[in-house]
Amino acid sequence: MSSINYDELMQPVIAFLGCETPKEWLNEALNNLDILMQDHANCEKKAAGTAMNLMFRYSFFTDLQVKLAQLVREEMLHYEQVLEFMAKRGQMWQGLSAGRYAGGLRKEIRTYEPEALIDVLVIGAFVEARSCERFYALAPLVDEELGKYYRYLLKSESRHYEDYLALALDVAKTAKLKNPEEDIQGRIQHIREVEKNLILSPDDLFRFHSGVPVQAA
């Protein structure tokens, strides 16, 4: 039996986010588990790809290389695990269009360095934190097997968001920004509001990170 206190583990994650997942989204998820699992797989693969791209683009940041290498391995493992879940449940792979969430966050990335990298890392922290929060919210609602898997993901997902934040601060300090802590906090506050709006506003396309289903808004 696991000795992890998931409620305690999730406290800083929920405090970091600007809101919790609306009940309307949870209800929609329970009615569309096939789409949820397919998009979850897509998200794991995209997360690994994003981290890998950062490793190539910013190869001169040693700490970034080490932390993101671990993240890539874990995200690809999760991708494989979700594919196994789908196969076990007789769910065929299908193409899904992307939702608005990631694109909505990427619009906030500044166009100059090192601020652009800092924004990418802060956004990465929010994506990981939101994923973690949704797994936590879904775990007691889905079937036992899937709920157990979602709880298993919480530890790594919560660490991923912390790693992204630590890297953002490290980049700000390495670049010798005048007030690195203030810059990071300012970006966190700004992106938190953007992310909150994406989660709480009506959304006509159900995905893992989508907003309130438009029919329920």
Q: Which residues of the chain have pLDDT under 70?
A: 1-2, 216-217
Closest CA to 25 of 209, 213, 205: 213
Which residue in the block uniquely carries the two structure tokens 């997360």? Answer: 47
3-state helix, strand, coil in the chain (%, to 5): 70, 0, 25
Contacts of 55 (CB under 8 A, 6+ apart): 64, 65, 68, 69, 72
State the pTM of this model: 0.94
Closest CA to 18 of 182, 157, 199: 199
Residue 63 confidence (pLDDT): 86
Can you read off the two tokens belonging to residue 64? Answer: 């970034």
Residue 1 confidence (pLDDT): 41
Q: Report whether CATH 1.20.1260.10 matches the domain 22-90+119-213.
A: yes
